[in-house]
């Protein structure tokens, strides 16, 4: 299959492209390179453009005539979304609307959407299942929820077949070291912890007064290769006529910020300098998911589920870049 991959030059998108290429598919990357990296778009043709630019999307669809779409293009930093909400609504929501307009006119094509556990907000209980109410507490979460809503509406109005994959915290990197996580500026925990381990700035812990066993936030970390694999499974599922819907991608185990730091010290064999900071606005105390639906319906089985292997892969990537 030929698959249009928006955001294919970004972190999760580039790993999905690699997985597609390894499975004999052709990813066509559509990316404006505002945060993605040209050299990460190496598994198929690259088309530069904005998702909001419906005419350009339409042109690319006509040129490549893909069989399906995977939509990753989005900003994904919770703190930034709180500080600059309109950036998120413009890029993530308006961008998705432009893309979806072009896709429904052209297709409608099977559509796999990169969603997030941030759509749940502060959970009533963990682990969180897909039927948990979605009440985001930050603009990033809302921006993704709005797109899920668009998909549900377009499913009804235009028979758009869709899957929303709500991932918990994407972590790790391609074990081959070919591609990896590279945000600029970096805001995510694991890469910042590893930078600190290499002698960079100390990692600042955002809050030690949460109602969790060690006072720091708990997240469920999922390896980016496992996430990429789930996208392929979702695609096959839709092509086989599976019903549209949402699936969590989670390892069903939570790790606190302090546990992540301890794991990094173990994996890297180095001390990680730490600074205690205030809570970051928009952070729920604990997010842990259940992925029973993805396991049962998509046959998804994460293979790199431990924190140590995720950190080890991220560490290999980081060191290969800055030798």
For the bound state, the minimum distance from the C-beta of residue 272 to ligand UDP, rounded and expressed in Å, comes to 12
Which is closer to ligand UDP, CB of 137 or CB of 152? Answer: 137
Out of 30, 88, 140, 167, which one is annotated catalytic?
Answer: 140
Residues that bind ligand UDP (CB under 6 A): 78, 169, 187-189, 192, 203-206, 217, 219, 257, 280, 283
List the beta bridge partners of residue 121: 135
Which is closer to ligand UDP, CB of 15 or CB of 219? Answer: 219
List all residues 6 or more positions away from 246 whose beta carbon is below 8 Å from its beta carbon.
115, 130, 148, 163, 164, 165, 166
Which is closer to ligand UDP, CB of 58 or CB of 280? Answer: 280
Buried b / exposed e over 161-196, threshold 16 CB at 10 Å, is: bbbbbbbbbbbbbbeeebbbbbeeeeebbbbbbbbb
The dihedral formed by the CA atoms of 121, 125, 128 and 130, expressed in degrees to the nearest 10: -80
Number of Cα atoms under 13 Å in the Cβ half of residue 172: 25
For the bound state, the minimum distance from the C-beta of residue 129 to ligand UDP, rounded and expressed in Å, comes to 19
Number of residue whose CB is nearest ligand UDP: 217
Which is closer to ligand UDP, CB of 75 or CB of 206? Answer: 206
For the bound state, the minimum distance from the C-beta of residue 319 to ligand UDP, rounded and expressed in Å, comes to 20
For the bound state, the minimum distance from the C-beta of residue 187 to ligand UDP, rounded and expressed in Å, comes to 5
Active-site residue, 221 included: no
Q: Can you state the angle between helices 257-268 and 307-321, rounded to 10 degrees? A: 60
Which residues form the catalytic set? 140
């Amino acid at each position: 299959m030929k698959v249009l991959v928006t955001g294919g030059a970004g972190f999760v998108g580039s790993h999905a492209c690699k997985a597609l290429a390894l499975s004999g598919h052709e990813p066509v990357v559509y990316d404006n390179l505002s945060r993605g990296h040209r050299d990460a778009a190496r598994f198929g043709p690259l088309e530069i453009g904005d998702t909001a630019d419906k005419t350009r999307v339409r042109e690319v669809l006509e040129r490549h005539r893909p069989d399906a779409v995977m939509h990753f293009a989005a900003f994904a930093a919770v703190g930034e979304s709180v500080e600059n909400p309109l950036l998120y609504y413009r890029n993530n929501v308006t961008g998705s609307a432009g893309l979806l307009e072009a896709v429904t006119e052209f297709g409608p094509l099977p559509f796999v959407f990169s969603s997030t556990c941030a759509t749940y907000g502060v959970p009533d209980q963990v682990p969180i299942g897909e039927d948990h109410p979605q009440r985001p507490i930050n603009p990033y979460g809302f921006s993704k929820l709005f797109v899920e809503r668009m998909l549900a509406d377009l499913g009804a109005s235009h028979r758009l077949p869709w899957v929303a994959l709500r991932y918990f915290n994407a972590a790790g990197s391609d074990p081959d070291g070919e591609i990896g996580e590279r945000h600029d500026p970096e805001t995510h925990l694991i890469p910042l912890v590893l930078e600190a381990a290499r002698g960079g700035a100390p990692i600042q812990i955002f809050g030690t007064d949460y109602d969790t066993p060690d006072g720091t936030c708990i997240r469920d970390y999922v390896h980016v290769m496992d996430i990429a694999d789930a996208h392929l499974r979702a695609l096959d599922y839709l092509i086989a006529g599976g019903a549209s819907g949402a699936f969590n991608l989670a390892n069903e185990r939570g790790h606190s910020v302090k546990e992540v730091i301890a794991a990094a010290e173990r994996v890297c064999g180095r001390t990680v300098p730490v600074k205690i900071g205030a809570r970051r606005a928009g952070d729920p105390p604990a997010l842990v998911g259940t992925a029973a639906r993805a396991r049962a319906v998509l046959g998804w089985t994460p293979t790199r589920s431990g924190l140590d292997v995720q950190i080890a892969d991220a560490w290999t990537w980081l060191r290969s870049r800055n030798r």
